[in-house]
Amino acid sequence: MVHDSPDDPDDRARKTPRAAASDVPPETLTAPDVDPAAPAGDDEDDARLPDILEESGAVGEEPLATGHEAIERAVRLAPTSPGVYRMLSANADVLYVGKAKNVKKRLSSYARQSAPLPARILRMIAATVTVEIVSTNTETEALLLEANLIKQLRPRFNVQLRDDKSFPYILITGDHWAPQILKHRGAQSRPGRYFGPFASAGAVNRTITALQRAFLIRSCTDSFFESRTRPCLLYQIRRCAGPCTREIDFGGYTTLVREASDFLSGKSHAVKQELAGEMEKAASELEFERAALYRDRLAALSAIQSQQGINPRTVEEADVFAIHQEGGFSCVEVFFFRTGQNWGNRAYFPRAEKSFTPEEVLGSFLAQFYDDKPPPKVILLSHEIEESELLANALAIKAGHKVEVLAPKRGEKKELVAHALTNAREALGRKLADTATQSRLLDAMATTLNLPHAPKRIEVYDNSHIQGTNAVGAMIVAGPDGFVKNQYRKFNIKSEGITPGDDFAMMREVLERRFKRLINPPEDSASKAKDEDFPQWPDLVIIDGGRGQLNAVREIFANLGLSQVSLMSVAKGPDRDAGRETLFMPEREAIKLEPRDPVLYFIQRLRDEAHRFVIGSHRKLRKKDIREAGLQEIPGIGPSRKRALLHHFGTLKEIERASIADLGKVPGVSAESARRIFEYFHPQPG
């Protein structure tokens, strides 16, 4: 979708899960209700009912009857108008959020004890002790409010969109005489034209690089642009027209920006024809160098379209959704088509019980998906959903233009859906294979390390610092589905009494801060984990180090009263060789595994991921300090050399990026000074 930035950007505040339902703005999009009379499918049966009740806090000898009584009380007070209802457990946890055109009629369907209901619905009713109702003016408004509450509260009996990261856009700025092209995420508050969404940052980066070659638009920041006295390297390699030093005039640069905007707006054929005409004209005038420039620009545009794979002929703007279910899992594959071009695809794996049909999962997924994203003019689906017309009306209100929700039966649109369905099937196959492999690794780890059971949550800790400065600790998390990156945490070391370089003291601070929060969790529900199905207590904690580090952490755990968490340290092999690590566990002999042992390889991956994450966190912290301090801290770099460096490179960021050879070309900077500057920005962490 292509659009200009709004004059009044939507910065609507997110409500916390504990906010009253009436306080939640109904403008935000949500998931359609699931009919309680839906078929049971292969859902788990009532044998699990006691476990569910114990988890949710339900009490009483006849919990199902208790749930029916709670719903019957709500029915007596329920309105016959549209609204949203929430079913709550004895612990005040939201079990289910639903919407209905007639709330009283919908709740009555739950209250009828003689009606045959799926085991999933029966478990939900049995755990219910309270029902809360919010009336809305229309069913569309109820749909919007319902999806908003599902995303906030994550009820266990609703379909949940778990991976909801924002999508990147391409922005051509509109607040400078020489517009800049860049990748953008988040609120679209900066003036300019936004093109997207793209499925991934990689797709955006590749497109921007090709657009630079094709249209020579600058990508540098405004501050870098204003400080230039001569063209930068991008001008030399023909990826920028050099407006900073007036290598191109205002009119010429404006033409380049217009051509880039036209290309991203879907006028690619016209743009390519125009460039081809200019190339032929230059060649006929024997200006072969200028003709070669147009040739290279045309090649860059062709490269963009060749990387996009399938490009529709008759579909200008659409999102394509296809769902495939297998093994109790669902995969929704999403393709984005804008301006007749394929802007990438992404696979989602929403959490839903096995009894949900593909239509139910897809319908609920769509409402949550567009909660914070602008919908296109056309949405193509692999399955017909029950409330497609209602969803289309809700999205039209949100987007300000007509939205069609279709399940095509023939033609190119049907081919696009079939292509997406193939991708969904393949993505779910890879997911199931990865999950099976991960499960086998966790089982093998439990056997090798003599753990009580296969760990469901593994936490790995590491520290990073340089001579005690910018000290930071980090925790990475892994489970049955691999690395769980939304659970990663970094800890800026705050204790003032720590001796620089004291790894034991830093680890003590990290672990105490982590586990004290688990022992005494904050009351506000907004701080709860995003995925409540994933355990918050680790089964296994891994640290980098030998027996000494292990004993130090054992002492920390003893002081905190932790005994249920298994502990292991990983000592590097001689010369830090991978495959020769030694594993240490409390009250056990050291463990040496064969270099090709899959468990050892898995442990190495965990340790390396922790190291990667902590080093990245440390470098961000250090770069922040460097930018705040400037160049004053580098030995031998005084005001004169600092001015020379900034005059030559423009910004501190470019000085950071420079090689030793490039630094040595600056007047007044010797080879030794260049080395010191480079090492200052690229230290070896300890």
Q: Are residues 534 and 583 in the same domain?
A: yes
Q: What is the pLDDT of residues 98-125, one digit of tens each?
A: 888 888 888 888 887 666 777 888 888 8
- Per cent of the chain over pLDDT 90 is 8
Whether the per-residue pLDDT at 609 is higher than 80: the answer is: yes
138 versus 263: the higher-pLDDT residue is: 138
Whether the per-residue pLDDT at 207 is higher than 70: the answer is: yes
Whether the per-residue pLDDT at 238 is higher than 60: the answer is: yes
Q: Long-range CB contacts (< 8 A, 24+ apart) of 60-68?
A: 63/126, 63/127, 64/122, 64/125, 64/126, 66/126, 66/129, 67/124, 67/125, 67/126, 67/127, 67/128, 67/129, 68/110, 68/111, 68/113, 68/125
Residue among 338, 345, 341, 356 at smallest CA distance from 321: 345
Whether the per-residue pLDDT at 341 is higher than 50: the answer is: yes
Q: Is the pTM of this model over 0.85?
A: no
CA distances from residue 332 to 28, 305, 505 in whole angstroms, order as listed: 22, 25, 46
Q: What is the pLDDT of residue 8?
A: 38
150-154, 534-538, 622-626: which range is least confident on average? 622-626
CA distances from residue 442 to 486, 599, 665 in whole angstroms, order as listed: 20, 8, 54
Q: Which residues of 467-483 are buried (b: 16+ CB within 10 A; e: fewer)?
A: eeebbbbbbbbbbbeeb
Name residue 613's amino acid.
Answer: F
Q: What is the pLDDT of residue 234?
A: 86
Whether the per-residue pLDDT at 610 is higher than 50: the answer is: yes
In the chain, how many domains are there?
A: 5
Q: What is the pLDDT of residue 13?
A: 35
Q: Are residues 303 and 184 in the same domain?
A: yes
Name residue 65's amino acid.
Answer: A
Q: Are residues 562 and 663 in the same domain?
A: no
Helix (H) or strand (E) holding 326: strand 318-326
73-82, 272-281, 369-378, 597-606: which range is least confident on average? 272-281
Q: How many H-runs (helices) and E-runs (strands) does the chain carry?
A: 21, 19
The half-sphere exposure of 237 on its side-chain side, counting CA atoms within 13 A, is 9
Q: Considering the domain boundaries, does residue 160 fall inside one?
A: no
- Cα–Cα dist 303/282, whole Å: 23
Contact in structure between 390 and 143 (CB atoms under 8 Å): yes
3-class SS of residue 231: coil
93-107, 156-170, 437-451: which range is least confident on average? 156-170
Q: What is the pLDDT of residue 333?
A: 92
Residue among 586, 534, 526, 527 at smallest CA distance from 557: 586
Whether the per-residue pLDDT at 332 is higher than 80: the answer is: yes
Residues 95/99/102/107 CA torsion (nearest 10 deg): -10
Q: Are residues 609 and 476 in the same domain?
A: yes
Q: Are residues 483 and 614 in the same domain?
A: yes
Q: Are residues 614 and 642 in the same domain?
A: no
Whether the per-residue pLDDT at 380 is higher than 90: the answer is: yes
Mean pLDDT of 616-625: 64
Q: What is the pLDDT of residues 279-313, one digit of tens each?
A: 887 777 787 777 777 777 777 666 655 544 455 66
Q: What is the pLDDT of residue 567?
A: 92
Q: What is the pLDDT of residue 354?
A: 80
Whether the per-residue pLDDT at 621 is higher than 70: the answer is: no
| pLDDT band, very low/low/confident/very high, at 500 (cuts 50, 70, 90) | low
Backbone phi, then psi, for 76, in 5-degree steps? -60, -30
The domain containing residue 351 runs over which residues? 318-429
Q: What is the pLDDT of residue 477?
A: 93
Q: Are residues 181 and 281 in the same domain?
A: yes
3-class SS of residue 510: helix
Mean pLDDT of 152-169: 78
Q: Are residues 285 and 368 in the same domain?
A: no
- Cα–Cα dist 581/265, whole Å: 55
Q: What is the pLDDT of residue 684?
A: 60
Q: What is the pLDDT of residue 348?
A: 87
Taking the CB of residue 165, how many other CB atoms lie within 10 A of it?
A: 10
Q: What is the pLDDT of residues 632-649, one digit of tens each?
A: 566 667 777 777 777 777
Whether the per-residue pLDDT at 351 is higher than 60: the answer is: yes
Q: Which of the listed ranges 203-207, 401-405, 618-622 does the model predict with the highest average pLDDT?
A: 401-405
Q: For 642-666, what is the HEC assignment? A: HHHHHHHHCCHHHHHHCCHHHHHCC
Mean pLDDT of 121-131: 87
Dihedral sign (CA 57, 62, 68, 69): negative
Q: Considering the domain boundaries, does residue 404 fall inside one?
A: yes
Q: Considering the domain boundaries, does residue 333 fall inside one?
A: yes
Backbone phi, then psi, for 352, in 5-degree steps? -155, 145
Q: Are residues 555 and 656 in the same domain?
A: no
Q: What is the pLDDT of residues 36-83, one digit of tens each?
A: 333 333 333 344 444 444 444 444 446 788 888 888 888 888 888 888
Mean pLDDT of 543-570: 87
Q: Are residues 215 and 289 in the same domain?
A: yes
What CATH number has the domain bearing residue 642? 1.10.150.20
Q: Considering the domain boundaries, does residue 407 fall inside one?
A: yes
Say how many Å lie between the first and final Cα of the chain, rounded: 47
- Cα–Cα dist 209/240, whole Å: 11
631 versus 119: the higher-pLDDT residue is: 119
Contact in structure between 169 and 188 (CB atoms under 8 Å): yes
Whether the per-residue pLDDT at 19 is higher than 50: the answer is: no
Beta strands, E only, 397-515: 404-406, 458-466, 469-479, 482-483, 489-492
Q: What is the pLDDT of residue 322?
A: 93
Q: Considering the domain boundaries, does residue 520 fall inside one?
A: yes
3-class SS of residue 591: strand
Whether the per-residue pLDDT at 617 is higher than 60: the answer is: yes
Q: Are residues 279 and 365 in the same domain?
A: no
Q: What is the pLDDT of residues 397-444, one digit of tens each?
A: 887 888 889 899 988 888 889 989 998 988 888 888 778 888 888 999
Helix 201-215 × helix 288-307 angle, to 10°: 160
Residue among 317, 264, 191, 287 at smallest CA distance from 256: 264
Q: Considering the domain boundaries, does residue 17 fall inside one?
A: no
Q: Considering the domain boundaries, does residue 15 fall inside one?
A: no
Mean pLDDT of 241-248: 89
Domain-terminating residue out of 153, 183, 217:
153
What CATH number has the domain bearing residue 563? 3.30.420.340
Q: How confident is the prediction for the chain on average, in pLDDT?
A: 77
CA distances from residue 537 to 84, 456, 570 in whole angstroms, order as listed: 34, 9, 21
Q: Are residues 612 and 637 in the same domain?
A: no
Q: Considering the domain boundaries, does residue 289 fall inside one?
A: yes
CA distances from residue 521 to 56, 424, 475, 490 in whole angstroms, order as listed: 18, 39, 18, 18
Dihedral sign (CA 515, 521, 524, 526): positive
- Cα–Cα dist 680/678, whole Å: 5
- Cα–Cα dist 17/563, whole Å: 32
What CATH number has the domain bearing residue 364? 3.30.420.10
- Per cent of the chain over pLDDT 70 is 78
Mean pLDDT of 129-157: 85
Domain-terminating residue out of 621, 643, 672:
621
